[in-house]
Each structure stands twice: as C-alpha cells, then as structure tokens.
Structure 1
Amino acid sequence: MKFYEIVVADAHGAERRLRVPSPTDVQAADAAAPLLKSGDSILSIRETPDDGLQRTDGPPSKTQAEELAPTTPGMAARRDAS
C-alpha cells in the first residue's frame, strides 16, 4: 500500500491537504472522494514516502469487485437450472 497526498480546493480557492492509503494514484482519488465537501475539486495527487508513521484521513477505496460483490456474486455462485 502506498500513501498519497491530495490537494483539494473549495469553490473560493481555499486549499486543504488530505492523506489516504491506496495501491494507485487513481484509486487515491476514489479514496479521497468521501472526504470531499460539496464544491471541492482535486488539484493534485502525489505519492508520499512511507516513513512508518503515516497518518491518513480515510481508509483505502474499495475495489470494483468489493463494491459489486454484495449485488452481483458472479457466475460461480449461480446454479444452472438445467
């Protein structure tokens, strides 16, 4: 797991920094999404070194498979009626 600093700005230009764990920078944006306020925009995403003392503002984002598993268990869980 890597750590990312995400700089966000509100509609008035006030910036704040969020730190999230994530395997990739794209998923870091997904991890930051629940932490954004209405009108916030992501300005930058950069990986930060892991010094062993990283504090984060939120958990890593779920993978697509984790999000869809409760509603679409997949073909392996389906029973064929034939």
Structure 2
Amino acid sequence: MRFYEVVVGSDSGPQRTLRVASPTDAQAADAAAPLMRAHEAILSIRDVPDDGLQQADGPPPRTQAEELAPGSPGMAAKS
C-alpha cells in the first residue's frame, strides 16, 4: 500500500489536501471520493514517500470483489 496526497477543491476556490492509502494513484481517487464535499473536484494526486509515520484520512479503496460481494468481502470471488 502506498500513500497519496489528493488535492481537492476548485481552481478558483478553497482547496484542501487529503491523505489516502492506496495501491495505485487511480485507486487513490476512489479512496478520496467518500471524503470529498459537494462541488469539490480532484485537482491533483501525488505519491508521498512512506516514512513510517504516514496516516490516512480515510480507509483504502474497496476492491472490486468487495464491491460486488452481496454479504461479506470475498463472496464475489467464491461465486
């Protein structure tokens, strides 16, 4: 798992930085989405070196199997 800084907001308005843990930068956007407010957009995503002290603002993104599972994680893989 890697750490990313995701800058959200608008070009002409306020901006804020979210820290998320994710395997890839594309999935970092998925991890940041639940933390975003109405009318915010992702402005940038930057990989942050893990110095052992990194903390994420939210959980990592769910895997496709977790999203498709009807009851519990891993159920989609057993189908």
Q: Bin the TM-score by the shorter chain.
A: 0.7 to 0.9
Q: How much has 1:11 moved relative to structure 2?
A: 8.1
Distance 2:30 2:43 in 1: 14
- Are the aligned partners of 1:18 and 1:57 in contact in 2 as well (CA < 8 Å)? yes
* Gap change, CA 1:28 and 1:75, over 3 Å in 2: closer
Q: Which runs of 5+ in 1 are unaligned?
A: 78-82
Q: What is the Cα-based RMSD across aligned positions, in Å?
A: 2.0
**Structure-2 residue corresponding to 1:18:** 18
Runs of 4+ aligned residues of structure 1 deviating over 3 Å after TM superposition are: 73-77
Distance 1:75 1:58 in 2: 25
Q: How does 1:61-72 map to 2 (within 5 A)?
A: 61-70=61-70
Q: How much has 1:74 moved relative to structure 2?
A: 5.2
Percent identity over paired residues:
62
- Are the aligned partners of 1:7 and 1:42 in contact in 2 as well (CA < 8 Å)? yes
Distance 2:65 2:40 in 1: 27
* Aligned residues between the structures: 76
Q: How much has 1:13 moved relative to structure 2?
A: 1.2
Q: How does 1:48-63 map to 2 (within 5 A)?
A: 48-63=48-63
TM-score, with normalisation over the residues of structure 2?
Answer: 0.85
**Structure-1 residue corresponding to 2:34:** 34
User: Highest Rg: 1 or 2?
Assistant: 1
Q: Which runs of 5+ in 2 are unaligned?
A: none
**Structure-1 residue corresponding to 2:9:** 9
